[in-house]
Amino acid sequence: MDALALLILVVALVGLGLVATVTGLIVGRRRGPKPLPNTHTDVIVKPPVEAAEDEPPVELSSPPATLEPEVEVPEELLEEAPALERPEGTASRLVRLRQRLAGSQGALGRGLLALLSRDRLDEDTWESIEDTLLTADIGVGPTQELVERLRTRMRVEGGTGADARTVLREELLALVDPSMDRRLQVSGADGQPGVVLVVGVNGAGKTTTVGKISRILVAEDHSVVLGAADTFRAAAVEQLATWGERVGVEVVRGPEGTDPASVAFEAVKEGVTRGVDTVIVDTAGRLQNKAGLMDELGKVKRVIEKQAPVTEVLLVLDATTGQNGMIQARVFSEVVDVTGIVLTKLDGSAKGGIVVAVQRELGVPVKLVGLGEGADDLAPFDAGAFVDALLG
Ligand code: GDP
């Protein structure tokens, strides 16, 4: 009997011990820290929570979620990443921007047409035509040339009832030169990315243009890396970073004051490593003396070309700056081989004639036009569409 009582006692004690061990294990697991994914300094882990005395035993089948330690994640990490913007599609952008171009430049064509359609084309009328062209910044040489050609054609063909609009259209088109190759060289050879270097004075619209070009490329399913090499202005770097974030494009940047060439180098290196289609490099636009500018841009280009050839050098010019803009254009074209011109702010002035003047001056085509501050307000320049917009 005593032996039986002893046996029952032993079995009871062993049973209790087992329950305690199992419960202890589970509670222990519950208390123990869970390895954090990606141990991150921003993640604050609370101290383990003590199990309450009267807490019911945890079933082994309990969902694992109840076993997770509580983790407090700072609010900024909880905020959802902003949704990426979808840049406007090409077709709708072009229709919209053509209308805007007609809005800003139409008065020039209409003014010329009204003058040319007069019954008598006397000297006063020709003088007014000349003034209209000069006011639109076409430049002295091209203006004289155009007036001369119009005079001849209207004299010879006018009697035959030639339409002034047709004559004007043909002559303006010849002046803008539809034969120039205006395609952007955004692709590289042999699997390397295309490298687009964007130059111009501060305020011309360089950074904005880099952002807008990246959107056009993203809309056309190209992969892009941006280089924020305007390291003298923190605001320009931030501005470019924002452009990149909005469409999910990586922006390579360095601390303020870093050598622009090193940022350009890193950006192209990143583009090569990631195998992207295009790297676009924004540059500093301080218009210091010509030698300084030449040193700076020359170095940027040389350093980039250790990684991949530069396929396009775009000079950004503010269309509203007239003669001043032309002087800047000349300086830049002397220090770097410009392959294309971007004319910005054509929405804000009727000075579309600068297209002709700057192409003549540099012998380089206008490839893009900026037509507003909106993210998708950049259009490829098309000679025929431009002249049609002028004539309304
Ligand atoms: P950056 O100093 O050359 O990089 O010039 P930004 O890109 O900072 O542009 C200077 C200003 O010009 C900004 O306020 C832009 O929004 C504005 N801008 C750029 N392109 C255009 C354009 O095509 N039209 C208009 N209206 N403003 C533009």
Q: In order of start, what are the domains of the chain with their CATH numbers?
A: 90-176 (1.20.120.140), 194-382 (3.40.50.300)
Confidence at 72, pLDDT banded by 50, 70, 90: low
Q: What is the pLDDT of residues 172-213, one digit of tens each?
A: 999 999 999 999 999 999 999 999 999 999 999 999 999 999
Confidence at 132, pLDDT banded by 50, 70, 90: very high
To test the ligand 1 pocket, which listed residue (105, 201, 206, 208) has its Cβ within 8 A of the most ligand atoms?
A: 208
Q: What is the pLDDT of residues 56-68, one digit of tens each?
A: 333 333 333 333 4
Question: What's the rounded Cα separation, in Å, for the pair 332 and 287?
Answer: 9
Pick the residue whose CA is nearest to atom 5 on ligand 1.
205
To test the ligand 1 pocket, which listed residue (216, 239, 344, 347) has its Cβ within 8 A of the most ligand atoms?
A: 344
Please state the atom number of ligand 1 nearest to the C-alpha of residue 230. Answer: 4
Pick the residue whose CA is nearest to atom 12 on ligand 1.
205
Residue 375 has pLDDT above 80, yes or no: yes
pLDDT at residue 63, rounded to an integer: 36
| Distance in Å, CA 243 to ligand 1 centroid | 13
To test the ligand 1 pocket, which listed residue (280, 283, 342, 373) has its Cβ within 8 A of the most ligand atoms?
A: 373
Pick the residue whose CA is nearest to atom 23 on ligand 1.
370
pLDDT at residue 8, rounded to an integer: 54
Residue 159 has pLDDT above 80, yes or no: no
Please state the atom number of ligand 1 nearest to the C-alpha of residue 348. Answer: 26
Rounded mean pLDDT, 163-168: 91
pLDDT at residue 5, rounded to an integer: 55
- What does the mean pLDDT of the chain come to? 82
Which of 141, 150, 136 minimizes the C-alpha distance to 354?
136
Tokens representing residue 193 in the block: 């990315």
Least confident residue range of 237-241, 328-332, 347-351: 347-351
pLDDT at residue 255, rounded to an integer: 85
Residue 23 has pLDDT above 80, yes or no: no
Q: What is the pLDDT of residues 348-366, one digit of tens each?
A: 888 899 999 999 999 999 9
Please state the atom number of ligand 1 nearest to the C-alpha of residue 202. Answer: 2
